[in-house]
């Protein structure tokens, strides 16, 4: 058992009330079966459980919060075999950061990061290449803690794709492809993504609606 695990013994120690209710409810159900020759319905079981809850309810006594807290601490210390306060501090401490997978990041967050990347790069450059977007995307996602390097690289690539989607491509598309015999080995058709130039895509013009009261 690790420091951050809650032992079953401690759970059971502070679940005596529920256990007593369950025990009395079971006895009431057995009595019902003996008297009626069948198991009670779900509605009847709920009534029997309510009866058990009332019959096992302890008499109310007034205690201060300090007294109650001290009693709970002593009970927990006895079960744990160590100081309950120190144990609780270790359990409550969240020293390990939450690790993310690539599919944990919603697409709307990816799109928002892509827009932020373009805005940040556009403040420094009039045009940019994919590697400019990649560097800024890596900086924008620096505070994210991913489970693996592959998860980080996948999110950075998605953010860069989102950034390109809101950028205007300046590099013209190739109108014709070279025959296979004239291509360099290992070179795909078209220019590599790193050689493409972009600039900020201008916002779409707003369409004017008809004037108020205008007739069609």
Evaluate whether residue 162 is within a structural domain. Answer: yes
**Domain final position from 92, 126, 144:** 92
| Least confident window among 81-85, 106-110, 191-195 | 191-195
Given a cut of 50, is residue 206 above it in pLDDT? Answer: no
Given a cut of 50, is residue 136 above it in pLDDT? Answer: yes
The stretch 32-41 carries a mean pLDDT of: 91
Evaluate whether residue 151 is within a structural domain. Answer: yes
Evaluate whether residue 211 is within a structural domain. Answer: no
Residue 152 pLDDT: 92
Given a cut of 50, is residue 166 above it in pLDDT? Answer: yes
Residue 198 pLDDT: 62
Same domain flag for 79 and 147: no
Same domain flag for 13 and 81: yes
Same domain flag for 17 and 85: yes
Same domain flag for 133 and 85: no
The stretch 169-175 carries a mean pLDDT of: 64
Same domain flag for 121 and 139: yes
Q: How many domains, the chain? A: 2
pTM here?
A: 0.44
Same domain flag for 19 and 69: yes
The residue range of the domain holding 59 is 8-92
Evaluate whether residue 188 is within a structural domain. Answer: no
pLDDT band at 200 (very low <50, low <70, confident <90, very high): low
Same domain flag for 77 and 124: no
**Domain final position from 39, 72, 92:** 92
Same domain flag for 85 and 106: no
What's the 3-state SS for the chain? CCCCCCCHHHHHHCCHHHHHHHHHHHHHHHHHHHHHCCCCCHHHHHHHHHHHHHHCCCCCCCCCHHHHHHHHHHHHHHHHCCCHHHHHHHHHCCCCCCCECHHHCCHHHHHHHHHHHHHHHHHHCCCECHHHHHHHHHHHCCCCCECCHHHHHHHHHHHHHHHHHCEEECCCCCCCCCCHHHCCCCCCCCCCHHHCCEEECCCCCCCCCCCCCCCC
Average pLDDT of the residues of the chain: 78
């Amino acid at each position: 058992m690790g420091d951050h695990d809650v032992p079953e013994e401690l759970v059971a120690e502070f679940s005596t009330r529920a256990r007593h209710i369950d025990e009395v409810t079971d006895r009431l159900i057995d009595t019902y079966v003996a008297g009626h020759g069948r198991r009670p319905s779900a509605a009847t079981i709920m009534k029997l459980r309510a009866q058990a809850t009332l019959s096992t309810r302890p008499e109310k006594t007034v205690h201060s919060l300090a007294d109650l807290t001290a009693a709970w601490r002593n009970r927990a210390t006895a079960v744990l075999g160590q100081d309950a306060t120190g144990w609780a501090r270790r359990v409550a401490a969240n020293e390990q950061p939450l690790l993310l997978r690539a599919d944990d990041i919603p697409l709307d967050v990816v799109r928002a990061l892509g827009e932020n990347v373009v805005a940040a790069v556009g403040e420094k450059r009039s045009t940019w290449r994919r590697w400019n977007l990649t560097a800024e995307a890596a900086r924008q996602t620096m505070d994210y803690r991913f489970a693996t390097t592959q998860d980080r690289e996948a999110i950075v690539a998605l953010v860069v794709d989102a950034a390109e989607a809101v950028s205007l491509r300046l590099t013209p598309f190739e109108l014709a492809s070279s025959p296979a015999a004239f291509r360099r080995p290992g070179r795909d058709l078209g220019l590599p993504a790193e050689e493409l130039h972009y600039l900020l895509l201008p916002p779409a013009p707003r369409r004017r609606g008809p004037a108020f009261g205008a007739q069609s």
